[in-house]
A and B are shown apart, each in its own frame.
Chain A
Amino acid sequence: MSVQSNVEVHTEWGIVSARQAGRNLAKELGFSSVDQARITTAISELARNIYLYAEKGEIIIESVERMQSTGRKKGIKITAKDEGPGIKNIRQVMEDGFTTSGGLGAGLPGVKRLMDEFDIDSIAGEGTEITTIKWNS
Protein backbone atom coordinates (compact mmCIF):
# COMPACT_ATOMS: atom_id res chain seq x y z
CA MET A 1 0.00 0.00 0.00
CA SER A 2 1.34 3.37 -0.84
CA VAL A 3 -0.26 6.70 -0.21
CA GLN A 4 0.41 9.30 -2.80
CA SER A 5 -0.48 12.92 -3.14
CA ASN A 6 0.28 15.28 -5.94
CA VAL A 7 0.39 18.99 -5.39
CA GLU A 8 0.55 21.47 -8.22
CA VAL A 9 2.88 24.35 -7.55
CA HIS A 10 2.33 27.54 -9.47
CA THR A 11 1.79 30.08 -6.70
CA GLU A 12 3.32 30.56 -3.29
CA TRP A 13 0.21 28.91 -1.84
CA GLY A 14 1.15 25.77 -3.72
CA ILE A 15 4.32 25.66 -1.64
CA VAL A 16 2.27 25.82 1.53
CA SER A 17 -0.09 23.04 0.48
CA ALA A 18 2.78 20.80 -0.64
CA ARG A 19 4.38 21.32 2.74
CA GLN A 20 1.14 20.54 4.53
CA ALA A 21 0.68 17.32 2.56
CA GLY A 22 4.25 16.30 3.37
CA ARG A 23 3.88 17.03 7.04
CA ASN A 24 0.65 15.04 7.26
CA LEU A 25 2.16 11.97 5.61
CA ALA A 26 5.34 12.22 7.68
CA LYS A 27 3.21 12.34 10.81
CA GLU A 28 1.20 9.34 9.67
CA LEU A 29 4.35 7.35 9.01
CA GLY A 30 5.54 8.05 12.52
CA PHE A 31 8.50 10.34 11.86
CA SER A 32 9.86 12.23 14.84
CA SER A 33 9.15 15.94 15.06
CA VAL A 34 12.72 16.76 14.03
CA ASP A 35 12.39 14.59 10.94
CA GLN A 36 9.00 16.10 10.23
CA ALA A 37 10.61 19.51 10.25
CA ARG A 38 13.40 18.25 7.97
CA ILE A 39 10.95 16.75 5.49
CA THR A 40 8.72 19.81 5.47
CA THR A 41 11.70 22.09 4.97
CA ALA A 42 13.03 19.95 2.13
CA ILE A 43 9.63 20.08 0.41
CA SER A 44 9.55 23.81 0.95
CA GLU A 45 12.93 24.23 -0.76
CA LEU A 46 12.01 22.01 -3.71
CA ALA A 47 8.62 23.63 -4.16
CA ARG A 48 10.13 27.09 -3.95
CA ASN A 49 12.67 26.19 -6.60
CA ILE A 50 9.83 25.15 -8.88
CA TYR A 51 7.96 28.39 -8.20
CA LEU A 52 11.05 30.57 -8.64
CA TYR A 53 12.71 28.99 -11.65
CA ALA A 54 10.17 26.91 -13.55
CA GLU A 55 7.02 28.86 -12.55
CA LYS A 56 4.97 25.68 -12.43
CA GLY A 57 5.43 22.03 -11.72
CA GLU A 58 4.34 19.45 -9.24
CA ILE A 59 5.42 17.83 -6.02
CA ILE A 60 4.59 14.17 -5.56
CA ILE A 61 4.66 12.83 -2.03
CA GLU A 62 4.38 9.10 -1.39
CA SER A 63 5.26 6.48 1.15
CA VAL A 64 7.84 3.83 0.25
CA GLU A 65 8.96 0.58 1.83
CA ARG A 66 12.09 -1.46 1.69
CA MET A 67 12.85 -4.91 3.05
CA GLN A 68 15.97 -5.22 5.11
CA SER A 69 17.64 -7.80 7.26
CA THR A 70 16.37 -5.93 10.29
CA GLY A 71 12.81 -5.85 8.99
CA ARG A 72 10.68 -3.55 6.94
CA LYS A 73 11.77 0.01 6.62
CA LYS A 74 9.32 2.79 5.85
CA GLY A 75 10.08 6.08 4.28
CA ILE A 76 8.71 9.10 2.50
CA LYS A 77 9.57 9.86 -1.08
CA ILE A 78 9.32 13.30 -2.55
CA THR A 79 9.49 13.93 -6.26
CA ALA A 80 9.69 17.44 -7.62
CA LYS A 81 8.96 17.66 -11.33
CA ASP A 82 8.91 20.60 -13.65
CA GLU A 83 9.28 21.50 -17.29
CA GLY A 84 11.27 24.62 -16.63
CA PRO A 85 14.60 25.80 -17.98
CA GLY A 86 16.53 22.91 -16.43
CA ILE A 87 19.88 23.08 -14.70
CA LYS A 88 22.96 23.60 -16.85
CA ASN A 89 25.61 22.64 -14.37
CA ILE A 90 24.39 20.26 -11.69
CA ARG A 91 27.75 20.13 -9.93
CA GLN A 92 27.58 23.88 -9.48
CA VAL A 93 24.06 23.99 -7.99
CA MET A 94 25.08 21.34 -5.47
CA GLU A 95 27.78 23.63 -4.13
CA ASP A 96 26.97 25.62 -1.00
CA GLY A 97 26.52 29.28 -1.67
CA PHE A 98 25.88 29.09 -5.39
CA THR A 99 22.82 31.07 -6.37
CA THR A 100 21.35 32.67 -9.44
CA SER A 101 18.48 34.38 -7.66
CA GLY A 102 20.33 36.33 -4.99
CA GLY A 103 19.28 33.86 -2.31
CA LEU A 104 21.48 32.03 0.15
CA GLY A 105 22.37 29.22 -2.25
CA ALA A 106 21.76 26.62 0.42
CA GLY A 107 18.60 25.11 -1.10
CA LEU A 108 19.62 21.99 -3.02
CA PRO A 109 22.73 21.03 -1.04
CA GLY A 110 20.63 21.66 2.06
CA VAL A 111 17.90 19.31 0.86
CA LYS A 112 20.52 16.66 0.21
CA ARG A 113 21.73 16.98 3.80
CA LEU A 114 18.21 17.00 5.22
CA MET A 115 17.21 13.80 3.44
CA ASP A 116 18.77 10.32 3.11
CA GLU A 117 18.68 9.76 -0.62
CA PHE A 118 18.91 12.41 -3.27
CA ASP A 119 18.76 12.12 -7.02
CA ILE A 120 18.69 14.90 -9.55
CA ASP A 121 17.94 14.60 -13.20
CA SER A 122 17.86 17.63 -15.41
CA ILE A 123 18.14 18.49 -19.07
CA ALA A 124 18.75 22.13 -19.92
CA GLY A 125 15.72 23.51 -21.73
CA GLU A 126 13.49 20.54 -20.93
CA GLY A 127 13.01 20.36 -17.21
CA THR A 128 14.14 18.97 -13.92
CA GLU A 129 13.16 16.01 -11.80
CA ILE A 130 14.46 15.67 -8.27
CA THR A 131 13.74 12.56 -6.23
CA THR A 132 14.56 12.36 -2.57
CA ILE A 133 13.79 9.88 0.21
CA LYS A 134 13.86 10.04 3.98
CA TRP A 135 13.85 6.71 5.84
CA ASN A 136 12.23 6.34 9.20
CA SER A 137 14.86 4.89 11.47
Chain B
Amino acid sequence: MQPSIIEMIYSQREEIMKRWEEEVQRVSENEMGRQLPYDKYNETNAEFIHLIIDTLELDQNEAKEKLRFFAERLIHAGWPLSYFTQGMQAFRRVLLETMTSNDSLQSKTVFTTFYEIESWIDGIINQLVDEYTGSWENTLHLQKLALKELSAPLIPVFEKISVMPLIGTIDTERAKLIMESLLEGIIEHRSQVVLIDITGVPVVDTMVAHHIIQASEAVRLVGAECILVGIRPEIAQTIVNLGIDLGKFPTRSTLRKGIETGLELTQRKIVDI
Protein backbone atom coordinates (compact mmCIF):
# COMPACT_ATOMS: atom_id res chain seq x y z
CA MET B 1 0.00 0.00 0.00
CA GLN B 2 1.13 3.55 -0.69
CA PRO B 3 3.05 5.20 2.13
CA SER B 4 0.79 8.26 2.00
CA ILE B 5 -2.27 6.17 2.81
CA ILE B 6 -0.54 4.39 5.64
CA GLU B 7 0.58 7.69 7.00
CA MET B 8 -2.94 9.02 6.83
CA ILE B 9 -4.27 5.98 8.67
CA TYR B 10 -1.57 6.12 11.30
CA SER B 11 -2.17 9.78 11.95
CA GLN B 12 -5.75 8.96 12.90
CA ARG B 13 -5.01 5.62 14.41
CA GLU B 14 -6.85 6.06 17.68
CA GLU B 15 -9.91 7.50 16.02
CA ILE B 16 -10.09 4.67 13.48
CA MET B 17 -9.66 2.00 16.11
CA LYS B 18 -12.41 3.45 18.24
CA ARG B 19 -14.83 3.67 15.37
CA TRP B 20 -13.97 0.21 14.18
CA GLU B 21 -14.76 -1.28 17.55
CA GLU B 22 -18.11 0.48 17.62
CA GLU B 23 -18.86 -0.70 14.12
CA VAL B 24 -17.94 -4.31 14.85
CA GLN B 25 -19.96 -4.29 18.05
CA ARG B 26 -22.94 -3.00 16.11
CA VAL B 27 -22.66 -5.58 13.32
CA SER B 28 -21.92 -8.68 15.32
CA GLU B 29 -23.56 -7.83 18.60
CA ASN B 30 -26.48 -10.16 18.12
CA GLU B 31 -24.47 -13.25 17.19
CA MET B 32 -21.09 -13.16 18.86
CA GLY B 33 -21.55 -10.98 21.93
CA ARG B 34 -23.97 -13.33 23.56
CA GLN B 35 -22.01 -16.53 23.30
CA LEU B 36 -18.71 -15.23 24.56
CA PRO B 37 -17.51 -13.62 27.76
CA TYR B 38 -17.34 -9.88 27.32
CA ASP B 39 -13.65 -9.63 28.19
CA LYS B 40 -12.61 -12.26 25.76
CA TYR B 41 -14.61 -10.67 23.00
CA ASN B 42 -13.11 -7.23 23.57
CA GLU B 43 -9.63 -8.65 23.84
CA THR B 44 -9.97 -10.42 20.52
CA ASN B 45 -11.38 -7.30 18.92
CA ALA B 46 -8.43 -5.28 20.13
CA GLU B 47 -6.01 -7.87 18.85
CA PHE B 48 -7.77 -7.98 15.50
CA ILE B 49 -7.71 -4.22 14.87
CA HIS B 50 -4.09 -3.92 15.94
CA LEU B 51 -3.25 -6.69 13.59
CA ILE B 52 -5.08 -5.04 10.72
CA ILE B 53 -3.36 -1.73 11.26
CA ASP B 54 0.07 -3.27 11.80
CA THR B 55 -0.15 -5.34 8.67
CA LEU B 56 -0.93 -2.32 6.51
CA GLU B 57 2.70 -1.48 5.97
CA LEU B 58 3.70 -5.00 5.09
CA ASP B 59 3.41 -6.18 1.53
CA GLN B 60 0.25 -8.03 0.69
CA ASN B 61 1.56 -11.58 0.88
CA GLU B 62 3.10 -11.04 4.25
CA ALA B 63 -0.06 -9.36 5.49
CA LYS B 64 -2.16 -12.25 4.27
CA GLU B 65 0.10 -14.68 6.01
CA LYS B 66 -0.24 -12.87 9.31
CA LEU B 67 -4.00 -12.51 9.11
CA ARG B 68 -4.37 -16.10 8.04
CA PHE B 69 -2.46 -17.24 11.04
CA PHE B 70 -4.73 -15.20 13.28
CA ALA B 71 -7.88 -16.42 11.54
CA GLU B 72 -6.82 -20.04 11.63
CA ARG B 73 -6.24 -19.89 15.34
CA LEU B 74 -9.65 -18.37 16.05
CA ILE B 75 -11.58 -20.55 13.63
CA HIS B 76 -9.98 -23.48 15.31
CA ALA B 77 -11.37 -22.16 18.59
CA GLY B 78 -14.83 -22.00 17.06
CA TRP B 79 -15.16 -18.42 15.87
CA PRO B 80 -17.25 -18.05 12.74
CA LEU B 81 -15.67 -16.99 9.48
CA SER B 82 -18.12 -14.11 9.29
CA TYR B 83 -16.33 -12.47 12.22
CA PHE B 84 -13.30 -11.88 10.01
CA THR B 85 -15.14 -10.88 6.90
CA GLN B 86 -17.32 -8.49 8.87
CA GLY B 87 -14.29 -7.13 10.70
CA MET B 88 -12.46 -6.40 7.47
CA GLN B 89 -15.56 -4.87 5.93
CA ALA B 90 -16.08 -2.71 8.99
CA PHE B 91 -12.52 -1.50 8.69
CA ARG B 92 -13.16 -0.48 5.13
CA ARG B 93 -16.32 1.40 6.06
CA VAL B 94 -14.59 3.21 8.87
CA LEU B 95 -11.75 4.30 6.61
CA LEU B 96 -14.16 5.64 4.06
CA GLU B 97 -16.03 7.55 6.71
CA THR B 98 -12.83 8.98 8.12
CA MET B 99 -11.68 10.07 4.72
CA THR B 100 -14.94 11.67 3.69
CA SER B 101 -15.21 13.55 6.93
CA ASN B 102 -11.83 15.09 6.25
CA ASP B 103 -12.60 18.14 4.13
CA SER B 104 -9.04 18.82 3.10
CA LEU B 105 -8.90 15.67 0.99
CA GLN B 106 -9.92 15.95 -2.61
CA SER B 107 -12.58 13.62 -3.83
CA LYS B 108 -10.21 12.19 -6.39
CA THR B 109 -7.65 11.32 -3.75
CA VAL B 110 -10.38 9.76 -1.64
CA PHE B 111 -11.46 7.67 -4.57
CA THR B 112 -8.05 6.34 -5.51
CA THR B 113 -7.16 5.71 -1.89
CA PHE B 114 -10.38 3.89 -1.28
CA TYR B 115 -9.88 1.84 -4.41
CA GLU B 116 -6.51 0.69 -3.17
CA ILE B 117 -7.80 -0.15 0.29
CA GLU B 118 -10.71 -2.01 -1.16
CA SER B 119 -8.59 -4.25 -3.34
CA TRP B 120 -6.24 -4.89 -0.42
CA ILE B 121 -9.11 -5.92 1.86
CA ASP B 122 -10.95 -7.91 -0.79
CA GLY B 123 -7.80 -9.85 -1.54
CA ILE B 124 -7.51 -10.89 2.09
CA ILE B 125 -11.21 -11.70 2.47
CA ASN B 126 -11.19 -13.79 -0.69
CA GLN B 127 -8.21 -15.75 0.46
CA LEU B 128 -9.74 -16.42 3.86
CA VAL B 129 -13.03 -17.55 2.37
CA ASP B 130 -11.27 -19.72 -0.20
CA GLU B 131 -9.19 -21.49 2.37
CA TYR B 132 -12.03 -21.90 4.77
CA THR B 133 -14.38 -23.42 2.21
CA GLY B 134 -11.55 -25.47 0.78
CA SER B 135 -10.82 -27.18 4.06
CA TRP B 136 -14.53 -27.51 4.67
CA GLU B 137 -15.13 -29.23 1.35
CA ASN B 138 -12.20 -31.49 1.99
CA THR B 139 -13.63 -32.56 5.35
CA LEU B 140 -17.01 -33.17 3.75
CA HIS B 141 -15.46 -35.27 1.03
CA LEU B 142 -13.57 -37.40 3.53
CA GLN B 143 -16.68 -37.90 5.63
CA LYS B 144 -18.65 -38.93 2.59
CA LEU B 145 -16.00 -41.52 1.79
CA ALA B 146 -15.99 -42.77 5.36
CA LEU B 147 -19.78 -43.04 5.33
CA LYS B 148 -19.71 -44.90 2.06
CA GLU B 149 -17.34 -47.46 3.49
CA LEU B 150 -19.68 -47.98 6.42
CA SER B 151 -22.85 -47.95 4.42
CA ALA B 152 -23.48 -51.53 3.33
CA PRO B 153 -21.34 -54.20 4.91
CA LEU B 154 -22.18 -57.85 4.36
CA ILE B 155 -20.95 -60.04 7.19
CA PRO B 156 -20.67 -63.81 6.80
CA VAL B 157 -21.75 -65.07 10.25
CA PHE B 158 -22.04 -68.78 9.53
CA GLU B 159 -21.26 -70.89 6.57
CA LYS B 160 -23.98 -70.10 3.99
CA ILE B 161 -25.50 -67.38 6.17
CA SER B 162 -24.68 -63.66 5.90
CA VAL B 163 -26.02 -60.59 7.63
CA MET B 164 -26.35 -57.07 6.33
CA PRO B 165 -27.00 -54.64 9.18
CA LEU B 166 -28.40 -51.35 7.92
CA ILE B 167 -28.01 -48.27 10.09
CA GLY B 168 -29.25 -44.79 9.26
CA THR B 169 -31.03 -43.16 6.40
CA ILE B 170 -31.25 -44.95 3.10
CA ASP B 171 -31.07 -42.70 0.08
CA THR B 172 -30.91 -43.57 -3.59
CA GLU B 173 -27.14 -43.82 -3.69
CA ARG B 174 -27.00 -46.03 -0.64
CA ALA B 175 -29.78 -48.25 -1.97
CA LYS B 176 -27.63 -48.88 -5.02
CA LEU B 177 -24.64 -49.75 -2.85
CA ILE B 178 -26.75 -52.10 -0.77
CA MET B 179 -27.87 -53.98 -3.85
CA GLU B 180 -24.34 -54.28 -5.26
CA SER B 181 -22.75 -55.29 -2.03
CA LEU B 182 -25.50 -57.85 -1.34
CA LEU B 183 -25.14 -59.57 -4.67
CA GLU B 184 -21.36 -59.51 -4.74
CA GLY B 185 -21.22 -60.76 -1.16
CA ILE B 186 -23.59 -63.63 -1.82
CA ILE B 187 -21.44 -64.88 -4.66
CA GLU B 188 -18.20 -64.35 -2.75
CA HIS B 189 -19.31 -66.02 0.49
CA ARG B 190 -21.52 -68.61 -1.25
CA SER B 191 -24.40 -67.57 0.98
CA GLN B 192 -27.75 -69.28 0.79
CA VAL B 193 -29.51 -67.07 3.30
CA VAL B 194 -29.06 -63.33 3.73
CA LEU B 195 -30.51 -61.49 6.68
CA ILE B 196 -31.19 -57.79 6.19
CA ASP B 197 -31.35 -56.13 9.58
CA ILE B 198 -33.25 -52.83 9.63
CA THR B 199 -33.14 -52.19 13.40
CA GLY B 200 -31.08 -49.08 12.80
CA VAL B 201 -33.14 -47.61 9.96
CA PRO B 202 -35.14 -44.72 11.45
CA VAL B 203 -37.83 -44.44 8.78
CA VAL B 204 -39.17 -47.08 6.43
CA ASP B 205 -41.16 -45.26 3.80
CA THR B 206 -42.33 -46.57 0.44
CA MET B 207 -39.01 -45.87 -1.20
CA VAL B 208 -36.98 -47.75 1.39
CA ALA B 209 -39.46 -50.62 1.25
CA HIS B 210 -39.29 -50.62 -2.52
CA HIS B 211 -35.51 -50.85 -2.49
CA ILE B 212 -35.60 -53.68 0.03
CA ILE B 213 -38.16 -55.56 -2.04
CA GLN B 214 -36.08 -55.11 -5.17
CA ALA B 215 -32.93 -56.22 -3.39
CA SER B 216 -34.57 -59.36 -2.09
CA GLU B 217 -35.95 -60.11 -5.54
CA ALA B 218 -32.43 -59.83 -6.95
CA VAL B 219 -31.12 -62.06 -4.16
CA ARG B 220 -33.70 -64.67 -5.12
CA LEU B 221 -32.51 -64.52 -8.72
CA VAL B 222 -28.95 -65.44 -7.74
CA GLY B 223 -30.30 -68.43 -5.86
CA ALA B 224 -30.30 -67.29 -2.25
CA GLU B 225 -33.04 -66.35 0.17
CA CYS B 226 -33.53 -63.01 1.88
CA ILE B 227 -35.02 -62.58 5.34
CA LEU B 228 -35.92 -59.16 6.71
CA VAL B 229 -35.20 -58.84 10.43
CA GLY B 230 -35.26 -56.15 13.09
CA ILE B 231 -38.66 -54.70 12.33
CA ARG B 232 -39.58 -52.54 15.31
CA PRO B 233 -43.25 -52.46 16.36
CA GLU B 234 -43.82 -48.88 15.24
CA ILE B 235 -42.21 -49.62 11.90
CA ALA B 236 -44.46 -52.67 11.49
CA GLN B 237 -47.54 -50.49 12.06
CA THR B 238 -46.34 -47.84 9.65
CA ILE B 239 -45.68 -50.41 6.96
CA VAL B 240 -49.21 -51.76 7.36
CA ASN B 241 -50.68 -48.24 7.27
CA LEU B 242 -48.76 -47.43 4.16
CA GLY B 243 -50.22 -50.53 2.57
CA ILE B 244 -46.89 -52.03 1.60
CA ASP B 245 -47.19 -55.70 0.83
CA LEU B 246 -44.30 -57.60 2.35
CA GLY B 247 -46.26 -60.85 2.27
CA LYS B 248 -44.03 -62.31 -0.38
CA PHE B 249 -40.90 -62.46 1.63
CA PRO B 250 -40.08 -63.83 5.04
CA THR B 251 -39.60 -61.53 8.00
CA ARG B 252 -38.54 -62.14 11.61
CA SER B 253 -38.69 -59.79 14.55
CA THR B 254 -35.06 -60.09 15.64
CA LEU B 255 -31.72 -60.97 14.17
CA ARG B 256 -31.51 -63.95 16.50
CA LYS B 257 -34.75 -65.46 15.23
CA GLY B 258 -33.57 -64.75 11.71
CA ILE B 259 -30.37 -66.69 12.28
CA GLU B 260 -32.34 -69.62 13.69
CA THR B 261 -34.52 -69.63 10.59
CA GLY B 262 -31.44 -69.38 8.40
CA LEU B 263 -29.91 -72.42 10.11
CA GLU B 264 -33.15 -74.34 9.68
CA LEU B 265 -33.23 -73.51 6.00
CA THR B 266 -29.70 -74.90 5.64
CA GLN B 267 -30.58 -77.99 7.71
CA ARG B 268 -28.68 -77.07 10.85
CA LYS B 269 -29.53 -75.95 14.33
CA ILE B 270 -27.94 -74.69 17.49
CA VAL B 271 -27.92 -77.22 20.35
CA ASP B 272 -26.91 -76.97 24.01
CA ILE B 273 -24.04 -79.21 25.06
- Determine if A103 is an interface residue (Cβ-Cβ < 8 Å): yes
How many positions in chain B have a CB within 8 Å of any CB in the partner chain?
21
Q: Name the residue in B202, B207, B210 with the highest tally of chain A Cβ atoms < 10 Å from its Cβ.
A: B207
- Determine if B205 is an interface residue (Cβ-Cβ < 8 Å): yes
Question: Given A37-B234, A37-B235, A104-B209, A110 and B241 touching (CB < 8 A)?
Answer: yes
Across the interface, name the chain A residue whose C-beta is closest to B242. Answer: A110
Residues of B contacting A: mostly: helix
- Determine if A133 is an interface residue (Cβ-Cβ < 8 Å): no
Q: Are B205 and A48 in contact, with the CB atoms below 8 A?
A: yes
A36 to B206, CA, bound (A): 17
- Mark interface residues in B224-246 (1 if CB within 8 Å of A CB, else 0): 00000000011101100111100
- How many A-B residue pairs lie within 8 Å, measured between CB atoms? 66
- Determine if B172 is an interface residue (Cβ-Cβ < 8 Å): yes
A55 to B205, CA, bound (A): 19
Q: Are A33 and B243 in contact, with the CB atoms below 8 A?
A: no
| One of B203, B237, B243 near A34 (C-beta < 8 A) | B237
- Determine if B169 is an interface residue (Cβ-Cβ < 8 Å): yes
The segment from A39-47, A73-81, A124-132 found at the interface with B is A39-47
A110 to B235, CA, bound (A): 14
- Determine if A107 is an interface residue (Cβ-Cβ < 8 Å): yes
Contacts of A114 in B (CB 8 A): 238, 241-242
Q: Which of A100-117 contact B (CB under 8 A)?
A: 103-104, 106-107, 109-110, 113-114
Q: What is B's interface to A at a CB cutoff of 8 Å?
A: 169, 171-172, 202-207, 209-210, 213, 233-235, 237-238, 241-244
Q: What is A's interface to B at a CB cutoff of 8 Å?
A: 12, 15-16, 19, 33-34, 36-38, 40-41, 44-45, 48, 96, 103-104, 106-107, 109-110, 113-114
